Amino acid sequence: MNRKIIGILLAAVMLLAIVVPAFAQQEKVNVYEGQTLIKSVAFIIGLNEYFVNDQVPGVKMDTAPYIQNGRTFVPVRFLGNALGVPDKDIIWNQAERRVDMKRGDNSLSMVIGKARITVNGQAKDIDVSPTIKDSRTFLPARYVAEGLGFNVDWDAANKIVICWPKDSPKPVLSNVIKQAVEFNGKPEAVKKLESALGITMVTGSYDPGRWWYNAPAPYLPEEPARSQIIANKDKSYVYVDYHPDGSIWVNIRWASVVPDIRTVTYDLSPIEKTLRAFFPGQEARFPAIMARAREIAEVTKQSNRFERAKMTVYNLDGKEIQLRSDDFNFVSLVILGG
């Protein structure tokens, strides 16, 4: 046989020896949408954030999981997305009040108010029903996760629901556990602020465990989100303090680098969200409070910060609240502690 042909054949054999094992290994990879491997999904009760593959920070939610009758409930779309279900495979049937979900070969259906789940066409009774809370649909995490092919476990000490694929070993979640330990040590008011505003608050270095604030904090040079404030300096941002005396400050701010704040668009919605979270049943008074907040913000803005409106004081449910403007704030809502 021609030496040239023999050389080509030997090269081909060697190439196959390299390529075939590589392809064989790739076939064992378990993937879902976007070729992303799910090793674990974790929810911390009360925290508006979920964690995939022990990565922190997690993915923000606009509400938080809660426990009812011994079961953990999670908002449907976030639960589905966390488990690798794209939005197109999460379907809400308004007429039947039914949620349908599909992930790979697994599908399930649940109806609001009915203690039953249908997995891959097989219906069975369960001990809880899907529910609607605050205009959001919540599903029992365990039954949904199991129906979509996951194992589920409950870390009672840290209040964590852990989900992982059935063909995988139970994961070790060191980062999520650290997050849970910190979160569960937070004052209830801080947790409520995080849930209402979709923020994460951290404890202050000079008074750890007693003073909490949200990132970004513009006057802390080590804060990595400071550049984000500057990049969006044409819009206001919210900075929240929880003080050691229990007082809460919700500040609607402008970036300190802005020379003329009349160019800045402010958003007062964090103030109203805070009022709704802390003073349920007082909604009839919110329009007047929000109107005054806009008046104060406008005085600050139109004078390019050189004029400030007088502080206004209200009493809600026995708590004194203030609307004021100082520092780099268009307006601040202050809920006094004690």
pLDDT of residue 36: 52
pLDDT of residue 271: 98
More confident residue, 225 or 173: 173
In angstroms, the CA 171 to CA 55 distance is: 12
What are the pLDDT digits (tens) for 63-98? 889 988 888 899 888 999 999 898 899 999 999 999
Q: Which amino acid is at 328?
A: F
pLDDT of residue 184: 85
Mean pLDDT rounded to a whole number for the chain:
84
pLDDT of residue 269: 97
In angstroms, the CA 103 to CA 34 distance is: 13
pLDDT of residue 17: 34
User: Is residue 82 within 8 Å of residue 53, measured between CB atoms?
Assistant: no
pLDDT at 222 over 80: no
Spell out the alpha helix ranges (H) of the chain.
3-26, 76-82, 141-147, 174-184, 188-197, 226-231, 269-278, 286-302
Q: Which amino acid is at 158?
A: N
What domains are defined for the chain? Answer: 34-182 (3.30.457.10), 187-335 (no CATH)
Mean pLDDT of 138-142: 90
Distance (Å) of CA 260 to CA 254, 302, 304: 10, 10, 6
pLDDT at 22 over 70: no
At 293, the pLDDT band (50, 70, 90 cuts) reads: very high
Mean pLDDT of 200-204: 76
- Which helix H or strand E contains 226, and what residues bound it? helix 226-231
Q: How far apart are the first and last CA of the chain?
A: 96
In angstroms, the CA 85 to CA 104 distance is: 9
Q: Which amino acid is at 289?
A: I
Instruction: Give the CA angle between residues 200, 176, 209 to the nearest 5°.
Output: 50
User: Is residue 82 within 8 Å of residue 90, measured between CB atoms?
Assistant: no
